[in-house]
Structure 1
Amino acid sequence: MSSKFRILAEISEKLSGNKKPILVGGSAVEFYTRGTCKSIDIDLLGDRETLVKLLEDMGFSKMGRHWFYTKDIGIEIVGSSAEGRRVNEVLHEGKVIRIISIEDLIVDRLNACKHWKSQYDCEQAQVLFGAYRDKLDLDYLKTRMKEEDLEMELIRINL
């Protein structure tokens, strides 16, 4: 996989337990689709103060809302908590990365599809659903979709 996941693995390795950031957004889609869907930045959930200090120590520079190590790897800290969502731990090159569950990622993409009218996010939800259909916790997915008032979006992904 790309250098962005190597950087994320390095960041994660320097932190312990719940201090490890959680990958969300487009790069989480990119990870789960093994690069079929691409993202231009890395969106993370985590303790902002801890992450900012670590990024500074690693040589990242802040430009706008993103932190850059090289001009093509930007990191945005989009929130602090994944409360109410499931998080998976996966290995990348022998290092643990925390990443939002596929079910919650589908819900995230469908929220963007519905509220931002983003066709790209609709397509990402469909790709994720199709690729992982047999591995999804459908009861959990349906519950999360009801919580987010996305029942009508079920039709979009043929659930």
Structure 2
Amino acid sequence: MITIDDLRKELELIKDKPKFQKMLDFASILTSFFEQENIKPIVVGGLSVEIYTRNDYTTHDIDFVSSGWDRFDQVLREIGFTKTEREWYHTEAELAIEVPDNYLDGDYDRVIELHLPNSRKLYVIGIEDIIIHRLEGIFHSNPEDDVDYEWAMRMFLIHKDDNIDLDYLINEAKRTKTYQIIEKWLELG
């Protein structure tokens, strides 16, 4: 069983690690802690992009979609995080955590379970859904000029031959009115 003291100790152990490794390690112990309470945090946002781009993208925080917002607030404050407007921040560990929603805007069946070298795991939004989310955030007359377009395209190109469900991606792109972007990528081969 993982306790509040274990979370504090983990923060101390990881505070000097490289940012990406620190975020993965802390997100995984937090996931293990909350799973004991039947809360399943799912990594979304920038950290999921960083995972899918194999650390090419860099984010400053850990975004989770999860139930139990009040419990997150209680636990994070108890282990030394300070609540700001949108996120909790731990000054010494230089970690920021946000829980922007309790509902995943995507398919729960496509959430991946990522096993880490520290023998823990993370739940991460599916690749198709994070690509669509990035495209939805930039949809305007010149989407290619937006940095989120570039990262969505990179994720697509990195994973198109291994684990993207193209039928699902195309259907979601049509549903969200981002298909003309995906269509261009498909034409590239």
TM over 0.5: yes
Check if 1:78 corresponds to 2:106: no
Summarize the Cα distance change of 1:84–1:25 in structure 2 as closer, same or farther, 3 Å threshold.
closer
What is the letter of the counterpart of residue 40 of structure 2? K
The alignment's TM-score, normalised by the length of structure 1, stands at: 0.89
Q: In the alignment, which residue of structure 2 is the partner of 1:130?
A: 157
Task: Give 1 or 2 for the bigger CA radius of gyration.
Answer: 2
Deviation at 1:146, TM superposition (A): 1.5
Q: In the alignment, which residue of structure 1 is the partner of 2:79?
A: 58
Bigger strand share: 1
Q: In the alignment, which residue of structure 2 is the partner of 1:107?
A: 132
In structure 1, how many angstroms separate the alpha carbons of the residues matched to 2:115 and 2:165? 21
Q: Aligned match of 1:36 in 56, 70, 90?
A: 56
Map 1:22-33 onto structure 2 (within 5 A): 22-33=42-53
Residue deviations 1:110-151, cap 9 Å, x none? 111215957110001111001001121101111111221111
5+ unaligned residues in a row in structure 2: which ranges?
1-19
Q: In the alignment, which residue of structure 1 is the partner of 2:21?
A: 2
Once the two structures are aligned, what percentage of the paired residues are identical? 30
Check if 1:145 corresponds to 2:144: no
Structure 1 segments, 4+ long, off by >6 Å, are none
Deviation at 1:95, TM superposition (A): 0.7
In structure 2, how many angstroms separate the alpha carbons of the residues matched to 1:39 and 1:84? 21
What is the letter of the counterpart of residue 6 of structure 1? D
Query: Residue 106 of structure 2 contacts residue 129 of structure 2 at CA under 8 Å; is this kept in 1?
Result: no
Deviation at 1:16, TM superposition (A): 1.4
Query: Residue 61 of structure 2 contacts residue 98 of structure 2 at CA under 8 Å; is this kept in 1?
Result: yes
In structure 1, how many angstroms separate the alpha carbons of the residues matched to 2:140 and 2:64? 21
The alignment's TM-score, normalised by the length of structure 2, stands at: 0.76
5+ unaligned residues in a row in structure 1: which ranges?
none
Deviation at 1:82, TM superposition (A): 1.3
